[in-house]
Chain A
């Protein structure tokens, strides 16, 4: 590449730093603080090796391996425990951070037409893509450094200098893989939405590949960079080699992205974008049809994703069953739900996780209305005689349907993979019921989103943080022995875990009531407020 290809890259880099001077530190501080709190909490909750060994024993099953990956269960020190339980999960969040930051400065700028102005100036063809990659390198190095130094500074016995920095560097290296992957998708697709969606889909695929692979098919696992991540065995052997593989992969992805960037037209992609119809069908002339058309690709992608998640977890159930049968020790550790098999207990935990994931697409569907509003499209619709109430109503209705579809698909996936690998005993309707009890919680989240659209437009982040909080508290609450009231701050915490718990109708009705209240209020607010644009 000629020197001029990178002309003005340093200035563009500084420009990115300036734009993200708040966003990036928030991500980094959040990630590092979270990482540091984990071993502190573990040291506090499980101070004795005997307690940790007991914990290791409960972890010795395919279901847990599928969720968190392999770990050094034979020497379950605080360090090994932290790496086992947290590294993979944190890496997924690091992946999200990298994807969001990269797409923002690549395809979004291009799609909005800002890149056109930059590129019409004497700026090298590769300067912008080079700037964002260097920026991400910088972000991930800082993440690796702060995490490594922070973990070491805790001065926990089993957490040495090398292990701590390996932990941090592993997160940073995985970060670079997803940063370059997102950069690549920003070249391939023509929209930021598609680039983000595909990057996240690949991230989840990597996660699921290693979940299935770690349990039953080693080779499948080795294709996934997230498996390379857990192979560093931080605090339990410390292998730096996978870091090299991760960095090589990132280098290759980045180089391909840069090459494609250099040869393609501005604002074009490589994946064909279907030419639209010349005339709207009558279907598109009503707002529900239009909203559905706008969301079609997203629905399909998420539907496939939910089905895959269900199938992946379902495929683990067989291993789980054969593993549990005859493991008396485990039966003793988990006595509180006597009468129910561990498989059933695991399924009920899965339901919770899957319902939290199934809440994402309907929330995106309803919040999309605000996205359209910002792009002035709603104002155009409003010129036609469509009341705002009707418009918001269409989006809400679609979101409610979306939630039901997504939740159902995940159960169908779980059940159909489950029955093929287990010796029977999975009754569809009881599983379906165990999942559907979470539907009111999803609707309550939609209610919150509607409320925000009505009163705090642009406050989307609140819903996402709240959903993340729900996941955090309910998924990790047991591990960290959180007080119970923390779980009661989220609608998902009120849902009975069927079949172990008794069915309770009161929380269902209460949640639906709250949802209705929030929606009605949101409608009022939306009708009164000004539309925002740009």
Chain B
């Protein structure tokens, strides 16, 4: 399988601030890769380097086997990019901007463009100055998905979208995946990429701290549960994979290692479930696990 993206030992300094400290990322063709990390972790910096917008201090970055800085033009013919904060020309309409982008790209599908405008419910005849943040993002998304790029680089593209539009976005990513395209999707929210991504890389303070399929990262994730049962659940903390049990109103709140979830659930269900609430693991939980484990190994 051809490698779409290959970053090796990439570092970036801004003055005397080390933003990236030896980043390694590999992406294969047709893969949807989730790039997750808290704000300021270095996601946008890494992405701008993939695009050859800024130069790596050291290390190599190849996109489609080409050098990201010196061969950026050839790379961009096959890449579509949507930044998290899109700013446009206030005096042009959204439609004019999309036209400009597709002309600069050199190929576009008018039909797909119209279809996307409908799906995102974007009025292309309005001047960009009147667009909200979400609408400006839609302009960039429509331009990106209307292109026939092979690699979509999306940097927190949904930060201004409402939930309905987020769904439209997700279906666009799924369509791209179906068509065999590669997607890099950055986010600071774990659950957002869970649904879409084959594999995730977790970045923190300029370093990838974990990478793998979500399946492989299960050991890091715990689901938060709140249960109320008919018969009391006395022996819960004795089960393996259950942590931090405490009473919450009439019920119990605790965390379960994701790989033990099935066993724990069948245990609970024997006690007659009255109420069950679950919350997905957050990025913070995941970091905590990561450092707990890293600490435990010493």
Residues of A whose CB lies within 8 Å of any CB of B are 4-5, 7-8, 11-12, 15, 19, 112-114, 116-125, 263, 265-268, 272, 275, 534
Contact = CB atoms under 8 A, between A and B. Distances in A.
B81 interface: yes
A15 B54 contact: no
Contacts, number: 71
A112 B73 contact: no
A11 B73 contact: no
Contact of B53 (A4, A8, A124, A265): A265
Interface string B99-115: 01101111000000000
Interface residues of B, number: 33
A120 B81 contact: yes
A119 B75 CA distance: 12
Give the dominant DSSP class at A's interface: loop
A274 B83 CA distance: 26
> Sorted from nearest, which 8 A-B pairs have the closest CB atoms?
A265-B54, A120-B81, A122-B76, A266-B53, A113-B87, A122-B77, A4-B73, A121-B104
Given A11-B104, A121-B101, 7 more contacts: A116-B53, A118-B104, A121-B76, A266-B48, A266-B53, A534-B128, A534-B129
B286 to A, nearest CB: 27
A321 B194 CA distance: 83
Interface in B32-57: 48, 51, 53-55
Contact of A122 (B87, B90, B105, B128): B105
B83 A113 contact: yes
A116 B83 contact: yes
Given A11-B104, A123-B76, A265 B55 contact: yes
7 contacts: A8-B104, A113-B87, A116-B83, A120-B81, A266-B48, A266-B54, A534-B128
Given A113-B83, A114-B89, A268 B54 contact: yes
B163 interface: no
Contacts of B81: 117, 120
Contacts of B203: none
Contacts of A5: 73
A275 B15 CA distance: 10
B90 A15 contact: no
Given A15-B100, A266-B54, A275-B15, A117 B76 contact: no
A43 B14 CA distance: 61
B129 to A, nearest CB: 5
Given A122-B106, A275-B15, A117 B101 contact: yes
Given A113-B87, A275-B15, A120 B51 contact: yes
Nearest to B80: A120
Contact of A117 (B91, B140, B153): B140
B73 A114 contact: no
A4 B74 contact: yes
B53 A114 contact: no
Given A120-B51, A123-B104, A112 B87 contact: yes
Interface of B: 15, 48, 51, 53-55, 72-74, 76-77, 79, 81, 83, 85-92, 100-101, 103-106, 128-129, 131, 140, 153
A261 to B, nearest CB: 13
A268 B54 CA distance: 9
A122 B149 CA distance: 11
Contacts of A7: 73
A5 B92 CA distance: 26
B105 A121 contact: yes
Nearest to B101: A121
Given A19-B91, A272-B15, A120 B76 contact: yes
Nearest to B127: A534
Nearest to B102: A121
A268 B17 CA distance: 14
A94 to B, nearest CB: 25
Nearest to A4: B73
Contacts of B83: 113, 116-117, 120
Q: Which of A15, A120, A123 has the most chain B CB within a 10 Å cutoff?
A: A120
Nearest to B79: A120
Nearest to B48: A266
A113 B85 contact: yes
B102 to A, nearest CB: 9
A272 B128 CA distance: 32
Nearest to A534: B129
Contacts of A263: 55
Given A122-B77, A123-B76, A266-B54, A114 B106 contact: no
Contacts of A268: 54
A114 B54 contact: no
B12 to A, nearest CB: 9
B53 A11 contact: no
A123 B73 contact: yes
Given A120-B53, A121-B104, A114 B76 contact: no
Nearest to B139: A117
A534 B101 CA distance: 21
A534 B73 contact: no
A183 B83 CA distance: 26
Contact of A114 (B88, B103, B129, B131): B88
Contacts of A15: 100
A117 B48 contact: no
Contacts of B129: 534
B89 A19 contact: yes
A121 B103 CA distance: 10
B105 A117 contact: no
